Amino acid sequence: MQRPQVQRQASRPVMADVARRAGVSLKTVSRVVNGEPNVRPALRDRVLAAVRELGYRPNAAARALAARRSRVIGAVTPGTARFGPTSQLFGLERAAWEAGYSVVVSSTFEATPDELVRAVRELVEHGVDGIVLATPVHMAPIEADGLLQRIPAVSLDRLPGDLMLPTVVPDQRGGARAATEHLLELGHRTVWHLSGPMSWHPARERADGWRDALEAAGAVVPEPIEGDWTPGTGYAVGRELVARGDVTAVFAANDQMALGIMRAFYEAGRRIPEDFSIVGFDDVPEAEHLFIPLTTVRQDFGATGRRAVAELLARLGSNGGPAPVHSVVIPVELVVRASSGPPPHRQATRPEPIDRPQQAMHPQGSR
C-alpha cells in the first residue's frame, strides 16, 4: 500500500538563503548579522534588506553564547506616548529584531540630566550590549560620570559638549526650512512659528530652519512662540493668532500643535487654506485623513532606526577598539496637502510679538 505523502512545512530560512538573495558570500552575511565592522554601508543595507524579505531570524541563543553577549540593545526614550518618540522607538525595535537583537527600554520621566543618568545606569546594570539614546536631555552629568565611555552607544539627537558618539538624526532644520519656503512661495509675506520646547534639540533645529527661510527671503521674522508639543497648546496659541487678524500662515513644530491651531481658526470662522495656511511636522497617520488634510514634513522613522542599529553594530564589532564617530543625517520629505494655499488678498502689517504670560506654557517633554 502506498504511503500517504506528508506535505513538508516550508523550512526556516538560513544564512545561505540570505546570501543568495543578497548576492553576497556567507562570510559577508555573517559579518553583517554579527555586527562586525568594515562592511560597506550599501552592502550592509543589501544584506539587511534580504533578511527582512526572507524573514531570516538568527539563532540568538547560540550566537549570544558564542560571542558572550546578551544580544540586547538598550534604548533611552522620553516617557511619552506621543507619535514622534513612539514611532522612533518602533523603528528602532524593528531594525534590532532584523539584526537578531531585542530591545530593553528605559524611559526618562522628566527632562532632567539626573533622569538620563538613572536611565543609562539602569540599562548598563541590565547587561545590554549597547545603548541608543533617543531622549533630548543635556549630557553633562553622563560625560562627567564616564558612563558612556564603558559601553558602545549611538545618539538619535545631536550632542552638546565633547561627548564623542555617532549620531543619527533626521534633517530637522532642512525640513523646517522646506515647510517655510513652501508657504513663502505661495505668496505669504511672512510665516509665524509655534515651536516645541526649546530644551529639545529638534525644536531648536526646526526653529532655526524656519528662521533660515525667512531671512533668506528677506521676510519679517516674527517672535517664535514656544509650545509643549500638545494640541491644547496649539489651540490656545491659535486663538491668540486669530485675534491678531493679520496672520495668514503658521509653521507648527509638530502635527499635534498644528491640529490645535486648525481647530481655533475653524471655530473663528476662518477658512483653511483660503484665509489661513498651516504646515506641521512628523506626518502623523491622521494627517492625510482630516477634513482638511494637513500639509506636513514626513520623517522616515524606519530608516532612522535601521541606520542607528547599523551604527551601533559597527561599534559592537570593533570589540572595544576605535570606531568612526560621525553624524548621519536622514532625509525628510515635505508632503503638500490641502491645508496650505495662497494668502487672502489683504495688506499685511508688520507682525508684533504676542505678549503672553510666562506660566501659560509648560514644556512637558513630549514630542
Residues 6+ apart with CB under 8 A from 139: 113, 116, 159, 160, 161, 163
Calculate helix-pair angle for 301-317, 83-98, nearest 10 degrees. Answer: 50
| Domain span holding position 144 | 15-169+301-330
**What whole-number distance in Å separates Cα of residue 327 and Cα of residue 205?**
15
- The structure's pTM equals 0.73
For residue 9, the model assigns a pLDDT of 41
**What whole-number distance in Å separates Cα of residue 180 and Cα of residue 213?**
6
Contact 188, 340 (CB under 8 A): no
For residue 318, the model assigns a pLDDT of 58
Task: Please indicate, yes or no, if residue 365 is contained in any of the structural domains.
Answer: no
325 and 254 co-located in one domain: no
**What whole-number distance in Å separates Cα of residue 172 and Cα of residue 169?**
8
Residues lower than pLDDT 70 in the chain: 1-11, 35-37, 58-69, 79-81, 111, 136-146, 159-163, 318-325, 346-367
Task: Please indicate, yes or no, if residue 4 is contained in any of the structural domains.
Answer: no
At 255-266, the pLDDT tens digits run 999 999 999 999
247 and 347 co-located in one domain: yes
At 339-367, the pLDDT tens digits run 999 999 743 444 555 554 443 333 333 34
183 and 207 co-located in one domain: yes
For residue 56, the model assigns a pLDDT of 82
Residues 6+ apart with CB under 8 A from 338: 272, 273, 292, 293, 295
**CATH label of the domain that carries residue 83:** 3.40.50.2300
Task: Please indicate, yes or no, if residue 309 is contained in any of the structural domains.
Answer: yes
For residue 5, the model assigns a pLDDT of 43
For residue 118, the model assigns a pLDDT of 85
Task: Please indicate, yes or no, if residue 5 is contained in any of the structural domains.
Answer: no
Cis peptide before 85 (omega within 30 of 0): no
Residue type, 367: R
For residue 58, the model assigns a pLDDT of 66
